[in-house]
Structure formats: structure tokens, C-alpha cells
Chains A and B, each alone.
Chain A
Amino acid sequence: MKHHIVPRVIAKLFIPGIILFGLYVQFHGDYGPGGGFQAGVIIGAAMILYGLIYGLNDLKKVAPSNIIISLIAFGFLLYAGVGIVTQILGANFLEYGVLGHTQKEGQHIGIILVELGVGITVASVMVIIFYMFAGRKN
């Protein structure tokens, strides 16, 4: 789609907004609807849109596939790691209360970290699926 000016301009205008909205959904998930899963999908969609319009190679410059592959595991490990940290601090697996000074503060920190892990894994899985499909063309 390199020679279609309308999609290129529209994508350039929209992609920062989409990513910003994804971050809003990610970090506002405890107050409004949303959370890590939806945010990951939105950010993944923004990156795939970039790849569709500007080509796979440009997207791979922004998000190299080996980094994306390690991010898949990183998000999952971040989630499980929060559970292990709470265990080390003397509570049950994924019992966030011990992460902060008060129960509510700990819950807040725990939920934000866990949702971040979900978001990272989901976004990078979406991008990697796109890489795998789009890369088969050549």
C-alpha cells in the first residue's frame, strides 16, 4: 500500500491516537471498562495497521521480531513473578496485599503490574501472529 496516499496519511494521523487510547485502557482498567487484554489487542492492532500500510520491513525496524518474541515470555513471567514476589514476602501466591503499606495500596500495585504483564503478552502475540502470516508471502 506504499503508493496510496489516503491510507498513509490517515494511518499516520490515527496510529498515535490508537496507541494513546490503548495506554489509557491499560492503566485506567481499574476505574473504567478495559484492562490488559483489551489494551494489548488495541496496541497490537495499531502496530499491525502500521505494518499493513507501510510494509512489513518498516514495522520490523520499529519492533524487531526477536524482541517481540522475548516480550511474549516477559509478560507471562511478569505476571507469574508478581505471584512469586508475594510468596517471598510471606503471603499466598498472587495475594497482592503485602506489596504495599496497606492492603488497598498493595492490591493497586499488584493489579497494575499483573495487567501490564497481560497487556505485553497479548500485544506481542498479536504482532507475532501478523509477522508469521505476512512473512509467508515471500
Chain B
Amino acid sequence: MRMSLLAPEFRVIRDEEKCIQCEVCVRQCAFEVHSYDLEEGKVASDDSRCVGCHRCATLCPTQALTIIRYPQEFRRNANWPEQVIKDIFKQSETGGVLLSGMGSDKDYPIYWDHLLLDASQVTNPSIDPLREPMELRTFLGRKPDRLKIETKKGKPRLKTEIAPQLKVEVPILFSAMSYGAISYNVSLALAQAARTMNTFCNTGEGGLHRDLYRFGGNTIVQVASGRFGVHPDYLNAAAAIEIKIGQGAKPGIGGHLPGEKVSQSISETRMIPEGTDALSPAPHHDIYSIEDLSQLIYALKEATCYKKPIMVKIAAVHNSSAIASGMVRAGADIIALDGFRGGTGAAPTRIRDNVGIPIELALAAVDSRLRAEGIRNQASIIAGGGIRNSSDVVKAIALGADAVYIGTAALIAVGCHMCQKCYTGKCNWGIATQDPYLVKRINPDIATERLVNLLRAWSLEIKEMLGGMGINAIESLRGNRLRLRGIDLTETELKLLEVKPAGESL
């Protein structure tokens, strides 16, 4: 084998005194880090294969394993840091495009951490969510410009026809993760958790597995450029249809699911032959303008008899607000914005780390623009791509979102350790893999429980934060940027976010 210049990323430290040679680590690691040496009569480890997912260390019955960053140091150089050198080594050895899994790990500013929430003191007292009702229920979809009410036999009746809505009891939806990128068991867990918590999961562009049609009422199905698994039953099974234009982790580019991952079951769900590449080209071939987008929106509305909201998802980019305005006018009932920290099963590293803008800025810009044009009521906004906890959710809603999408957080809840190797298909946690031996590692019911716990915990926290602000319905917070203050932000950033600096009163 030709020598690689790449040093390992991690070092596996085995405490020989604690290790009982049980070989659990050998069996757990799909990257084949550990192996039993017959001659030596003990387990040995190959640092160069380790991805730092901690599966072995977590399952080691005697805690004999510790994984640390590989201590080898290059000469310090601010211009040529370690990762830059390693990337060049890798590309000169393979001649290929660098791939990464999950969202960007680069040190860009996280605006959530520069926004502070308000609380009530003395006047407009806070509300105790433990004693008083708090409403997180949210309706997602097109709202009428005005309501007409007529009186029939002395009773008032709503005359205005209300467009179809998605009703969520907690303003958090699971974002698009396709069967193919994630395993069947994780897809099932997301669907079960969505049903339990009265929210929605999203198929991504990989089709809807036959066995998951029963969760259609809690499922958003995607129509992307590859049109995988899209047919009338699929469209009609869903609660809403999302046209995927872009994704925060890889704005402007398509996706390739390599043939090796197109197993029999994936092939049936995507409706493509087994073992063939599933190519999702960058653009929809029939969408080159807002008018074209409108055509697909209405083709889908016609196909489903105007019974379901049609969503359009775009990556957060420089011109998001103008595009969003066009999307609403094109007929989108819900617009999903995906920030550049959003996750993915596989994205070219350079795209992931350099293209797009943070969700906070895009969300603020889109909400402001739609308000300024007087069309904010015509579509709901779902913000995603970097929502990490309940305070991010509250801040997103105050910035103008109706609800949020979580993907990475949901996967972490079921065991993801963020090793970023989803694209290898060897996920030791059984999440981003189709290998039956690995898939079994996720028990769908336990995973469901963990997801439900996460949403429950976050909704309790959201209620606490709302109560503290003296608000008893999440609706009253939506777009209420006066309840936010910016800290350590430039004037321009404050202006873009339309948020006052911390310390400034009303």
C-alpha cells in the first residue's frame, strides 16, 4: 500500500490493566480500529482508522478506552494550520472532492449566543407556567388577509375559507432527513416521536418507506430535483409537501447517494433500481424563475386537490429575502429557511464551510421583508440550520419564525456523537448507515422515547421563558424583536437583526 502522509485524527488509549480482552470494541467498530492479535493474545488498536465517535469507549464494560485528539503537532503556523495541510494531503492522495457529514464545524459567529431575552419585572408581571395555561400550539400555513364573518340565524359564522394548516402542539418539527442518509430505525423513531408530540417529521428527498405511510398524518414529504419515490400515493399520504430547492449545508448544489447505499429497501422507497446512483441535480430542471416555482407549487396543489399546505425550502443565502417574497407570491404556504450551519449526510467540505449565511440573519431579513411588503400573513416561516436548544427556539420565534426545524439536535438525542462521518455509511451508532448489523443498534422505541423526552424538555423550558416574559401564548412572541437585545454585536449586525443593543430601554 502506498504510504499516506495523513497522521491519525485521534489516539486510542487502552488501559491495559482495565482491559479484559472481551473484544466488545472489536465488534462495535465498523471502521475496524480494534482487532484481536492472536499471537499477542490481546486487543490492539489502529489510531489511523479512528473517527472519534466514542462508540467503543461508551460500550467498553471496564472503561478501559479513552479517545483523545492525536497529539502530533505540526509547527505552529497561522497561515497553514493543521486542517489545511491535512486537506491538501488528502486531495493529493485521492484527487477527489473533500466530503463532510453534519453541519459546518468552523468558528463562525453564532448569533443566538449574542441575543438575550427579556423578562418581566414588577409591571406586566411574569406568568408561572406551573400554575397557568401556556400555549405553544401553532398553525402553519397561509392565513387570510382579513376574516369575513356572517351571521346566520343569529349565530356568527366564519365565511372566509381558511387555507390548509399544519397544527403543531410544540413549534419544533424534525427537519428533512432521508431514508438512505439515515437508517430505517431512525426514520421510524422520528415518525413515532412526531406522532406522540403532535408535530411533524420530514422524509427528505428519499421517498417514504411503505411501512411509514401509517405516519403520513405526521409526515411532510419532499419533492426535490431527483423526484425520488414521488407519485400520487406519496403526495396524498402526507400532511404537507415540501419542495426542496436548497439546503443550508450545501446551498446551490445537488446530492449524490452512491449506488453502494441503494439497497433493496432504499431502492423500493426511492423507486430506482438497486445499486444505481441516486443523483439529485443542483437545480430542479423545470425551475428557473419564480414563475416556474409557482408552476410546481400549483401542480402539487392540483395533484392533492388543495388539501395540503405546499412548503418551499431554501438555503439561507445573501438574497433570501427577495427570493422569499417571490416564493410567497408564487403560492408557497410555508417557507423553510435553512441556515448554513445546518446538517447533512454528505456535503463537499468547501461548500459546507463557505457557502450561505447564518439562519439568524436570513430569518430576520425574510421576516422584515415580508412584513414590509404586507404579505407576512400569507406564509408561515420555519427556521432551521443550527437550532441547538430551547433558547435558540425562543429567539428564532422572536426574530420572526413561526416554528423551527431540528435535525442535528434530534440525531444527537438518539446517540449521534458528531464524528461527521455520515457519508461513509459506517455509522457505529446505527444512525447514518444501511448496514443491517449497525442499524440494529438503534432500538426504535428507545430512540422515540429519547426524542419525545427532548421535545418535552424543550417545551417546558420554552414555557418557562415565555412565562418569564409575561407571555402565555407563543403567538404573542412571534416577530416580537423588542423582547430581544443584542450583545457584543456591531451596529450593522444590530440593524440587520432589527434588535436593540443590550442596555437600551424601549
Does chain A bind chain B? no
Could you list which residues of chain A lie within 8 angstroms of chain B, going by C-beta atoms? none
| Interface positions of B (Cβ within 8 A of A) | none
